[in-house]
Amino acid sequence: MSWLKSALEILERRLGNNEKIRSAFTDKEGVAFFYGVCPGTYCVSSIAPVDVDGAGIFWETTKPIKVDGPPEVNKAVVVTLAFPPATEKKNFFVGKPLATK
């Protein structure tokens, strides 16, 4: 957790403009929940790759996620991060090998 907090602080400083990065952990199915998200367009990516059988896998949206408003504290925006060879669909993103980055 301390590594993640430090990494997020570094990334936010590099972004400037008082931009904030929101983070979430996924459950065992790769589902993450973001609550209280304001209307707008968002990109989702992994901060660090995940090692799967010696191969680094990372996630990043190819198309931004559009969130309509107003924000509701009790309603989550659900994002699913899947391992290859799954197929992409709305808010469902398939990981890519780090070697292809």
pLDDT in tens, 26-41: 888 888 888 777 888 8
Residue 101 reports pLDDT greater than 60: no
Both tokens of residue 12?
Answer: 């936010």
What pLDDT score does 39 carry? 84
Helix (H, G, I), strand (E, B) or coil at 101: coil
pLDDT tens figures, 59-81: 888 788 888 877 776 777 888 88
Phi-psi region of 9 (alpha: psi -120 to 50; beta: other; left: phi over 0): alpha
pTM of this structure = 0.63
